[in-house]
Amino acid sequence: MAKTILEFDVVICGSGPSGATAAFLLAKHGLKVALIDKEQFPRDKLCGGLLTEKSYKLIKSTFGNDFFEPDLIEF
């Protein structure tokens, strides 16, 4: 059995909010990105639904207006 060698421009360890955002932005700019995590997805995460208004604005500016469903946002 032949081994396959994968090549990436960037390898990001940890697919939490920071790692996932970095991977998204780097891929958006044309880099070949590998995002790895020790956990198996999907997974439950308690902090996943808790965002401050400052975080919401940052996410919106990074990912665009269509990232959130309007009915789910309350401050």
Domain-wise residue ranges, the chain: 8-41, 44-75
Strand partners, 57: none
In 3-state terms, what secondary structure has residue 44?
A: coil
Q: Which residue in the block uniquely carries the two structure tokens 């990436």?
A: 8
Handedness of CA 49, 51, 53, 56 (dihedral sign): negative
Predicted confidence pLDDT, tens digits, the chain (75 residues):
789 989 999 999 998 888 988 999 999 999 999 999 998 877 766 565 667 788 878 888 888 877 766 666 665
